[in-house]
Amino acid sequence: MKSCPKCNTRIVGSSPTCSACGVDLSSEFEATQLSDDRSRERTELMSSAFATGHEGGFSPGTVLAGRYRLIMPIGKGGMGEVYKADDLELGQTVALKFLPAAIAKDETALKRFRSEVRTARQVAHPNVCRVFDIAEADGVYFITMEFIEGDDLSMLLRRIGRLPSDKAIETSRQLCLGLHAIHEAGILHRDLKPANIIIDSKGKARITDFGIAGVESDLTRDDFRSGTPAYMSPEQLDGKGVTPKSDIYSLGLLLYEIFTGKQAFQFDSLPELLVKHQTTTPTNPSEILKDIDPLVEKTILQCLEKDPEERPKNALQVALMLPGGNPLEAAIAAGETPSPAMVAAAPKKGTLSLRTAGLVLAAILLALTFNAFFEYKYWVIPTEEKSGELLVARSRTIAANLGYPEKPADVKYGFALDAVFAEQGFAKNESLKNAWELMKTGQPGLRMFRYRESPQPIVPSASAEVTAQDPVMEVPGELRVLTDPVGRLLEFKAIPKKRSGPAGETTPTNWQQLFTEAGLDITKYEQLDPDHLPPVFAEEKAKWKGPFISDPSMSVQIEAAAYDGKPVWFQIIMP
């Protein structure tokens, strides 16, 4: 049995093109025999990638942009080849996805390539592959993204047929959460298929390849048919338009294959596939797998409804429909902050008796009373506090001193209370018995001043007011400053802009300036090996350990990162 070398669809007969993705099988590509030999698959993949690569090809050890050392090809994405590489600046393994040389000369294709980065960078989720940046070397464009050690789902299913029931449910739920995060960012994937899912070394499902992803509001009619036909929704195949529910249909096809080991629709030609997607219902999963959970079958078949309105309203609802599923618990276990929609959708188990409800109400009222007293007590601590207007000016000065002098289009600011640090940090640290006196100095900070600025209007998406997390910081040039009440820097974060000069000509980062803004003496701090992952893209990292400003007996750690010679991250970490 033969398979397409690009999308792994089984090839029946002697068709000159792949019925799923349209790849020419007679000239440019050759169909390869299916094999259970994992090492042979990888060898063929590597050989194919080098043979069909960019003009002149890439050899292992090649260094691009003075920073990325290629190790080996690892696959083909929707827009080009993918290589494993070493990031020599950060000492980390990354993946580089290339645009073929012929397309790189096409400005329309380059626009799409940049759009891929712009959309994919908006998503940060444990079940979605992270995308970092776009770069160019000698006319070749590539994306830098997270390298995930593991196998793609199509390869795994070819080897084992289908996933065991428990693992299938776990994997399906992870895919739902990842897809929900993508949709929450306003992005449609439009090419969900087994080859675009990686099962990492920890067994977690990761959604990859935003090669044809698009911001929903930016899609045009010409984009509607982008994707792999075998995993498209009827409306996408018909060119009628795509919505998040089109991805839900593709998700249903994925789940069908995960639980049964078979594609939902068997076909010999593309026209036959189009007819089946639009007019026929796939074989019930229970006819293939007798002991499949009825809830799983119901979930899959509802995702595969021809009418988008009959499908689940979102990926989160699909996760809730799966047996034993609570996406809220799954998100918390994965270290993810649940969205308001996820909290609202979490299942409610049972009801309380009148007596229990009364006790709970009394406990809540008592807690609120204590909290009000506790918060008032902290807010009335006398400090050398500056006014909000002065701290806005101070925050703008900090930003300018760190290399961001541009006047912002919008600014948001306000005071915040760190009661968690007050309750936990002080209680656990024996060296802080004089906590109340220290609080009067403004450090450690119970009251903090938060400042955000952006070259675009700052509009919250999930709440009535701007917070540290809403809206997500993603606009190049956007930054956040956190100070104590007297204006000393506690935290800084900036979304870097495009490099100001050629790679390799970066001005050395002035780490001293960060310490100056924080009121600290850098000479009193021991430099450590940086082992943290900054929350923004960076090419330099640094870490220190030393005394805190108000109490030399209190040891703190400081983490920082920079890009193009300018700080993009700074944080003082309390004990």
Tell me the average pLDDT across 477-496. 93
The full DSSP string for 337-366 is: ---HHHHHHSPP-----HHHHHHHHHHHHH
pTM of the model: 0.52
Burial classification of residue 44, based on how many CB atoms lie within 10 Å of its CB (0-12 exposed, 13-18 middle, 19 or more buried): middle
pLDDT above 60 for 437: no
Of 341-355, 485-499, 518-532, where does mean pLDDT reach its minimum?
Answer: 341-355
What is the per-residue pLDDT across 262-314, written as a single tens digit (0 to 9) for each?
A: 999 887 777 887 888 778 889 999 999 999 999 999 999 999 999 999 999 99
Q: Give the pLDDT score at 48.
A: 36
264 Cβ contact list (under 8 Å, min separation 6): 252, 253, 256, 257, 282, 283, 304
Of 156-170, 199-213, 321-335, 494-508, where does mean pLDDT reach its minimum?
Answer: 321-335
Tell me the average pLDDT across 41-66. 56
Active site residues: 191
> What mean pLDDT value characterizes the chain?
77
pLDDT above 60 for 484: yes
Helix/strand/coil for 384: coil
Q: Is beta strand 2-3 parallel, antiparallel or unpaired with respect to 92-98?
A: unpaired
Q: Give the pLDDT score at 507.
A: 80
Query: Residue 27: which pLDDT band, with cuts at 50, 70 and 90?
Result: very low
Of 242-246, 419-423, 468-472, 545-549, where does mean pLDDT reach its minimum?
Answer: 419-423
Percent of the chain surpassing pLDDT 70: 67
With beta carbons less than 8 A apart as the criterion, state whether 9 and 22 touch.
Answer: no
pLDDT above 70 for 204: yes
Q: Is beta strand 479-483 parallel, antiparallel or unpaired with respect to 214-215?
A: unpaired
Percent of the chain surpassing pLDDT 90: 36
Tell me the average pLDDT across 42-49. 36
pLDDT: which is higher, 142 or 504: 142
Helix/strand/coil for 238: coil
The full DSSP string for 28-62 is: T---EE--S-HHHHHHHHHHHHHHTSSTT---TT-
Q: Give the pLDDT score at 357.
A: 62
Residue tagged 């997270």 (tokens): 146
pLDDT above 70 for 242: yes
Tokens standing for 173?
A: 């739920």
Backbone angles phi, psi at 236, to 5 degrees: -70, -40
Q: Give the pLDDT score at 75.
A: 78
Q: Give the pLDDT score at 37.
A: 39
What is the per-residue pLDDT across 338-397, written as a single tens digit (0 to 9) for each?
A: 555 555 555 555 445 566 566 667 767 765 665 554 444 444 444 455 677 889 999 999
Query: Residue 553: which pLDDT band, with cuts at 50, 70 and 90?
Result: confident
Q: Give the pLDDT score at 306.
A: 92
327 Cβ contact list (under 8 Å, min separation 6): 173, 176, 177, 180, 316, 319, 320, 342, 345, 346
**What H or E segment, with its residue span, contains residue 329?**
helix 327-333
Classify 153-345 by CATH class: mainly alpha
Distance CA 91, CA 86 (A): 7
Superfamily of structural domain 35-146: Phosphorylase Kinase; domain 1 (3.30.200.20)
With beta carbons less than 8 A apart as the criterion, state whether 394 and 386 touch.
Answer: yes
Query: Residue 436: which pLDDT band, with cuts at 50, 70 and 90?
Result: very low
pLDDT above 70 for 21: no
Of 170-184, 189-203, 320-334, where does mean pLDDT reach its minimum?
Answer: 320-334
